[in-house]
Amino acid sequence: MIPVTKPYFPSREKLDKYIDGIYERQWLTNNGQLVQELTKRLEDYLGVENLLLVSNGTLALQIAYRALGVSDAAPSAQPEAITTPFTFIATASSLKWDGVQPVFADIDPNTWCLNPDNIEAAITPNTRAIVPVHVFGNACDVEAIEAIAQKYKLKVIYDASHAFGVKYKGESLLKHGDAATLSFHATKLFHTGEGGAIIFKHKEELERAKKMINFGITGPECIEELGINAKMNELQAAMGLCVLDEIEANLNARHTIWERYARELAGLVQLQKRSDDLSYNAAYFPIVFKSEQEVVRVADLLKDNGILARRYFFPSLEIVEFLDQKEMQPYSKNIASRILCLPIYAALEKSEQEGIINVIKSHMRLE
């Protein structure tokens, strides 16, 4: 069976050397040597400052909300944050979990990112933040969102889980917003098995977050913040260092696969419109069909041929009951009903990819 994605496994020999060092130092967590090394190397590679490693991408979002005051308790009303319904559930559920009501605004039907034109109408006196998503690594309209945030004095936290290494206008896309969060889950382009990171605009928020991820503890007998355990451990960092060593080979393989899909399927399906001045990371290959019925047929046909594709993102999150939404978001619902992500990972063989393409083309010929 060809999976929709597969973790990148780096050199076992190199990983063993890092693990040997962990055994020698007898230091497994609490800002160990490898966590410190990975922090510095990621800042250098990504071209960012104020990067904080954490144990997963969902906690990255929650710590960012806390560090920026988005989820601070309000005596009279529940805080709100405007976000997109076309995203992974963690973007919205992390807000809800932290006491912030997500308020959805619809997406652009071509880029699939949060449409800035829909944000202002969703702002209320309780709005604390905007939480856009760089969907599949595509850049949001960061300038328009920043202008709205400044006008209404709102924080901006980007869910940049898909945007590792992406550059916009020659600089890291992760520099935009008051914070940008990354997921280093095993299936991501860059991973630490499980893990995540937050890139803060300002160092003071970074320093506050450092306390938060270690229970608020700042010394043997000093607790300064309400905190939680969100630290990355040394074994996660070891995996991350090995994956980072081989990131260019991983990227090159993904780009080859992405470009072959784009070339062979051009005109047959709808592709995401990428933002201008964007250097893409080829992390995903989503396609949109003419109808939901067609998506289901193609997904079933691929499965019959030993290929797992994924309806991702599906469903559009405004229909999830516990998120307490009242309004439908038509563009998000429409794209979510027709989208399918095809297998893409460095180890995908050319012959396997050709088989995937042939199944889709054969379906199109029958239509």
Q: Identify the helix (H) or strand (E) that includes residue 320.
A: none
Cα dihedral 189, 205, 28, 16 sign: positive
DSSP 108: P
Cα dihedral 37, 42, 47, 48 sign: negative
Secondary structure E strands in the chain: 51-54, 80-83, 101-104, 127-131, 155-159, 167-168, 171-172, 179-183, 196-200, 217-219, 222-223, 278-279, 286-288, 339-341
Of 188, 201, 211, 231, the active-site residue reads 188
Q: Bridge partners of 287? A: 340
The three-point CA angle 169-133-120 to 5° equals 95
Helices (H) and strands (E) in the chain, counts: 11, 14
Q: Which amino acid is at 66?
A: R
**Cβ pair 160, 174 in contact under 8 A:** yes
Alpha-carbon gap, residue 104 to 327, rounded angstroms: 8
| Structure-token pair, residue 267 | 């005109």
Residues in the chain: 367
- Locate tokens 């460095």: which residue? 346
Is 153 annotated in the active site? no
- Annotated catalytic residues are 188
